[in-house]
Amino acid sequence: METARMIQTMAEGMSDELTSLRRSIHARPETGWLEMRTSAIIAKRLLDLGYEVLTGEEAVCPEARMGVPDDETLRSHAAAVLAQEGTPVEALTEAMQKGLTGVVGILRCGEGPVVALRFDIDALGMVERGDHDHRPAREGFSSRNPGMMHACGHDGHVAIGLGTAEVLMGIRENLHGTVKLIFQPAEEGARGARAVTAAGHLDDVDYFLGSHVAPTDSLDDGDVTAGTWGSLATTKLDVTMSGLAAHAGGYPEKGKNALLAAASAVLSLHAIPRHSDGQSRVNVGILHAGTGRNVIPDQAVMQVEVRGETTEINCYMAEQARQICNGAAMMQGCECTIAVVGEAESQHSDEALIQRVVDTVRRDMPDLTLSSEQNARNWGSEDISVMMNRVQSHGGQATYMRFMTPMAGAQHTVGFDFDEKVLPMGVRVFSTMVAELLKGDAQ
């Protein structure tokens, strides 16, 4: 209880600091693999606090990254970041500037279990609302990066992560084991977790905790939901149909129509038979094809995603999708290339760790309320699943919590904002859980 009180005092005392950190991250949102400034800020802070800090290839496995922007995008973003006021250039490594973003901070406190906490750090490709009804605009911290916005709350996750880092360093005498703070890039589009996992960071983890800020007006009442389950496994596919251009009036028979191949594929994709074992989804979100009215289209590109209630159902959907795209290409004599640009698995939290969170909140944070549903259903997809499954595959325990807070606008919309009182609460819950899991002999 002593430690819990210390944590509460520290977390509540850093409330203003957390808000201003969140706002500085909010003003400079960076989408997946472009979190260069964000990663530099995180790395610098962790180094200043005294953490062992891993960045670049030590943080993420380069080959396991998915959906990496092209070289020109990486170069121009790096140049912009270098020129921005407030970028800690001494912590902005060459590797970060090449898209090896993400940071892992390690705190070793002797013998004991390994606890890993995950904070996702990326923004969305959206244009933030600029009118005065939107608080970030009104109070001067809305996005200054064109076409990018923190509309999911990951700016808050960064602040919670760094606040937790500070608290844990402050109570390290009371910890017995190892803490890993994983600041994960490219969660949106499910592109980053595999690269962190492939770098081996989850292989020795005994307890793994993640969280997401969530709206209080959802079904989940209370401040904290101890666990969630059921987020959908998903595969994101970029499909390119390549054909042959020809004069549509003069020699239509000489063309190979990529647009027609893509159009047949779209209809067949939406007609994949449902799976008897559970829910599935398919969506073709983007289709671009053709170059002119009187030209047989020689190129078509599609952005496709499939999902499944289980990893197996998702695999079935992805395999059907591949077959359909290849078959539709063949009908028109076109070539089809398919790139996997994002992937998540299905996910569940461990009952034992959920119960540990419930007990710890009740005992050490009695002023916080727990959701009536301790293990809530997740919809959508989350690549934290890849990390959780890795931890669970070798006998570790994992949970993915929710921290509730009032929100303006829904997540992933241009008017999104949240009540920053959730920041010290998040720091407190994570820090108290680490103290509980690493309390040593008293365990």
State the nearest-atom distance from the C-beta of 122 to Zn ion, in Å. Answer: 9
Q: Which residues bind Zn ion (CB under 5 A)?
A: 152
Residue nearest to Zn ion (CB): 152
CA angle 67, 71, 74 (to 5 degrees): 80
Say if CB 113 and CB 399 are below 8 A apart.
Answer: no
State the nearest-atom distance from the C-beta of 16 to Zn ion, in Å. Answer: 25
State the nearest-atom distance from the C-beta of 18 to Zn ion, in Å. Answer: 18
Dihedral angle computed from the Cα positions of residues 84, 85, 91 and 94, in that order, rounded to the nearest 10 degrees:
20
State the nearest-atom distance from the C-beta of 338 to Zn ion, in Å. Answer: 26
State the nearest-atom distance from the C-beta of 412 to Zn ion, in Å. Answer: 8
Q: Which is nearer to Zn ion, 318 or 384 (CB)?
A: 384
Q: Phi, psi at residue 179, to the nearest 5°?
A: -110, 135
The pair of three-digit structure tokens given for residue 135, joined into one six-digit string? 């608080």
Q: Which is nearer to Zn ion, 152 or 423 (CB)?
A: 152
State the nearest-atom distance from the C-beta of 8 to Zn ion, in Å. Answer: 27
Q: Which is nearer to Zn ion, 152 or 354 (CB)?
A: 152
Q: Which is nearer to Zn ion, 316 or 430 (CB)?
A: 430
Beta bridge partners of 299: 242
CA distance 193 to 397: 17
For residue 66, give the nearest of 391, 292, 439, 386 by alpha carbon. 386
b/e code 395-428 from CB counts within 10 Å (16+ = b): ebbbbbbbbbbebbeebeeebbbbbbebbbbbbb
Q: Phi, psi at residue 110, to the nearest 5°?
A: 75, -160
Q: Which is nearer to Zn ion, 30 or 206 (CB)?
A: 30
Q: Which is nearer to Zn ion, 87 or 143 (CB)?
A: 143
